[in-house]
Structures are given as structure tokens and as C-alpha cells.
Chains A and B, each alone.
Chain A
């Protein structure tokens, strides 16, 4: 084997054992897998491609953000929402069951790659603003852990939007991961502020959130459905805040070969699975050129269109 052939092969297709799979909210589950290789090498914002069935229905694996990694125990936790056939089958997994996982995949949040070195806002004790919509919460736990580990001096805050309180998991987990302040917005007002996550983000950026510190200078880390990402992108831009967003997309190969999951960016079509799923906050173009056929589709399950949801 030549050097190029053996190369650095970080991603692996591995047999994983289910340790735990339990509901943590309405149609929201936490799945913990024994996957030592992925637990050791994965980073916040990366994902794995998980087989949801042993048959050809559904055909494709499902991509899930790495929710929380425990490299010592060798475990990988995922947070997923049941939105269709694939995630529906996932809920049937019991401790001891096995399936296949390909990962870690994609480019994560660049927390370990010198946000501080580049003289960015986090270099001088700024604030990392984590903004999540629905199950877009998934990558935020591991992200908070890595911010605490690699960006000492940074304050991490979390803003969460959901339809209602039932859609939210227990947010104490995020405090344990190092989040200093959490604010919630729900569309029906059953938890936190009534409204959208952009409402509380605006309030935070303008110093109007009670009990919160000044969040400037700040870097935003965003994950959620595309309409929410688009709204946060506009808002951040108007407040001069930069950062990163994590996209979800229907994927086939998950590794950059099939070109099925591209998104339009300021540098042309780029692969969500390989060039992303994390992109610069202003990099992705969300205008009419990017269809929204799934409406408020949740990250983590690239189910077919509504006609086929089951």
C-alpha cells in the first residue's frame, strides 16, 4: 500500500451496540451507542450515518449529529426526532441490539481549530451564542463541551426555539455540558418566551434578556430547520455577528461521493455531507433558489416528502 492509499482514514463503518434508547420529549429520543472509534475521533457538528433497518425499506441510512461523546466510555449519544419511517424504526431498538454506523462524517464546528488564534471574538473572552431550533439542539451539547475544553475564557449561552414545551428535552444536560445561560422561546408560550428563537436572539444581542450578561463580542453557532437558519442568518448579519451554522439535508452516500446533498453557497454548490454540514453563517444562500419542500423539517432524519411520511 502506498502512503496515499493508507492515508488518514478517520471515518469508519462500524458495528455498534445500542446501550440505551429512550424518549426525552414528544417524539424525541435519546439513543446511546457503544462506538468507541467514533467517540474518540468525533467532533461537535460532525455526524454519523446510521442504518435504521435491516431491509431495503427504508433504503438509505439516516444522518444524525453527534449529540454527546464519551471517549472514555466509548459511547456516542444521538438526539433524534421521529418524523418518518426510518426514525420510527429506530425507536424499536433495544439495549443489546446492533446496527451499522458510518462516521464520524463531515466538517464540524471549528472549535478546536483556533477560533481564538485567529483573533476572533472568542480570543478575548467573548460569548459563544448557541442557537437551536427543535432537534437542532442535538449538536449543541457536544459543542458546549468542546467550547469549555478548547476555548477557556469563553462564556457559552444557549437559545432554544421549539413549537411547545413538549418538544423540548430536559435542558439541564446543556448546563452540565458548560452552558452558562439558557433562554427558551416556544410558539405557543408553554415554555419560556412566546415567539421564535429569533425574538430571544434579538433580545440577547440587544442586552434585553433579564439576568443575562452582555453577549458582545460574540460568535453564533446555529442549528435547526432551514427557515430558522435563514432568519438567524439575516438577524446575525444585521447585528454584525459572525459564526457558523449546521445544515441538514437528505443524503445518500454521506461521504461526498454521490453529490446528492448539495446546497447553494457563495462559492457554488457544496456538499452538505463532506464540505459541511457546518458552514460559515453567511456562506449558505437561503433565497428562493433553495426549495423548502419539507416545511419545518427537522435535522436528523432526511425522510422523503410529506406524502411518504409514516
Chain B
């Protein structure tokens, strides 16, 4: 029998729990040449700011043990171009579309969210299903991660965003904090509908030949299998302390990785860096989760979410 893999993330219906993580998938155009995006539960597009941004100087990436650092710096064409070009393209596919909202000030987040909300209402059909608020980008000078490291600032941003949009609001949290649970709770109190965690861990590499930092931006964000145990533990902690549904991410490469996140309390997962070594990784994760459920007679994914986590008293609905 086919297990029921549908999940609801803060008001966004996903037909399966596998998304692709923001920043690893562009706006879907390139990967759509390799596989049918209908296979995905959802696409989280590249971080979108109000104005176009050219991003950081190269080098922007460097490989590290079982991972990589990136410092792209939110290069994107700006929200207007995203609405006019990227979203209509993604609209062809039967998959949820989540726009990652970024900014260098709370005003910019609000303007991007308002623009997207209005564009969605104006358009005769669905342009997007929700917003992922990036309060965790380590690669921009101002803002970004600063919004995700102070509970009061995070609460204030959530509250103000709640006032400008009815779209589901997913807050993407940074792991670069002492107590991630405090930030998660602040987002919930401010009006967030769901959480994504984790974004990248800050890191750097120094070139011993030039005796200078390797990345053009000096620091970057670590992703890939190297961060997975850290990500899993943060999902575990937040799931136990907070009622919001969680999209778990951080080094997920295989179905067994993904199932660990579900067992820890994530309701859905996102595959990111793994796409770079296997462009079909997200599709394989989706298939593998189905197999895992079938082999064990699990009829609904809901029974799996948080099953390993004693901190979760009532399973996520």
C-alpha cells in the first residue's frame, strides 16, 4: 500500500515532505532540465531581496571535509524579476513554491513580503504558497543573521511581517546562536507559522600560500554532511520546545538522513548541498522515505514525525 506522505507546513500543503533548500536550486530552471519538479514536495527559491543584488566577490565557494563553505552574498535579480519571470515558470509545476525573503533591514523584508503578497493576490492564480524568512544569512554585511540571533529582533520582525501578509510565514533559523529554542519561541510568538532549520554554520578557510582568507567574503556558511548532526540536534531541541511545524535541513543526502530528521520532530525536510554531488538527490530521498514507510507498514508520515523525541507529547498534526 502507498503510504500517505502528505504534510501540512503552517498552512502549506505538501504532497510529499521533500523540498529543495533555498540557494541550492536557483529558481528551479536549471534542475528542471534534469528531472520533473512535480516530484518535489516543494521548491524554496533563492534568497530574494527588494532590489537586485550582485552578490559577493569570488571565490564564493570552497570544499571542506564532507562539506563546503559558500559566500554567495544573496545574488538575485530582485523581487520584481522574481515575480515576473521566476514564479510563472515554477507555476507550471505541481509543487509548492516558497519564496525565501531576505533583506538588509526590516523595512526591506517587509517590502519584499508585501510585494509578493500583493502580486499573489493580483495574479489570477497561485504564484507562491508561502514565504521563508531568511533571518540567518551569514554572508551579508548588515542584517541577515543579525535578525536571527536576538530573540527580540526576531519577534519584532515576525510581528511586523504578520501584519503585511496572510501568506504562511516560515522563519529560517541560524545555528550560530547559543539557544536556538529562544529564537524559535520568539518567532512563534511574533506570528510565525513554521520554522526551517538550520541555515549554514559560519566558517572560514585561510590560504597558506597567500596567507589570506580564501573566500572573497572572508567568512562563509558551512553546509553538507559535516553539519548534519548539529542540524539534527537543533531540530530535536526546537521540536520539543515549540509547537510550530519544522522543515529540517542540514546535510541531508539520503532517505535515512531524512528519516532521522522526521523522527527528531521535523514534519518535512529540505535537500540542499547534496544536489551538487547528485542532482537527483531530492528525488531519491523522496523515494527512499516511501520505501522506508512501506517496509515498516507505516501508513502515514504523521506517525513518524517526532517518534524518537520524548520531548514531543502530542504528535504534529
Q: Which residues of A contact B (CB under 8 A)?
A: 1-2, 4-5, 7, 9-13, 51, 56-61, 100, 102, 249-264, 268-269, 274, 289-295, 302-308
How many whole Å from B84's CB to the nearest CB in chain A? 16
Q: Knowing that A59-B273, A60-B63 are A-B contacts, what are 6 other residue pairs whose CB atoms are under 8 Å apart, sorted by A's residue number?
A: A249-B58, A257-B24, A261-B60, A262-B58, A268-B54, A306-B207
Q: How far is the CA of A307 from the CA of B212 in the complex (A)?
A: 12
Contact A255-B208, Cβ < 8 Å, known A57-B66, A59-B224: no
How many whole Å from B112's CB to the nearest CB in chain A? 19
Determine whether B295 belongs to the interface, using a CB cutoff of 8 Å to chain A.
Answer: no
Contact A13-B279, Cβ < 8 Å, known A56-B253, A250-B61: yes
User: Within 8 Å CB of A51, what residues of B?
Assistant: 277-278
How many whole Å from A107's CB to the nearest CB in chain B? 14
Docked-complex contact A250 and B63, CB < 8 angstroms:
yes
Interface centre among B273, B278, B279 (most CB of A within 10 A): B279
Contact A61-B212, Cβ < 8 Å, known A255-B30, A305-B205: no
Q: Which residues of B contact A (CB under 8 A)?
A: 23-26, 29-34, 36, 46, 54-55, 57-68, 70, 72, 75, 89, 92-93, 205-210, 212, 214, 216, 224-225, 253, 273, 275-280
Docked-complex contact B55 and A5, CB < 8 angstroms:
no
Docked-complex contact B58 and A263, CB < 8 angstroms:
yes
Docked-complex contact B34 and A11, CB < 8 angstroms:
yes
Docked-complex contact B63 and A5, CB < 8 angstroms:
no
Docked-complex contact A1 and B36, CB < 8 angstroms:
yes
Q: How far is the CA of A244 from the CA of B305 in the complex (A)?
A: 54
User: Within 8 Å CB of B67, what residues of A?
Assistant: 56, 59
Which one of B30, B60, B70 lies within 8 Å of A257 (CB-CB)?
B30
Docked-complex contact A269 and B70, CB < 8 angstroms:
no
Interface centre among B57, B63, B208, B273 (most CB of A within 10 A): B63
User: Within 8 Å CB of B32, what residues of A?
Assistant: 5, 7
Q: How far is the CA of A249 from the CA of B216 in the complex (A)?
A: 14
How many whole Å from A89's CB to the nearest CB in chain B? 13
User: Within 8 Å CB of A9, what residues of B?
Assistant: 33-34
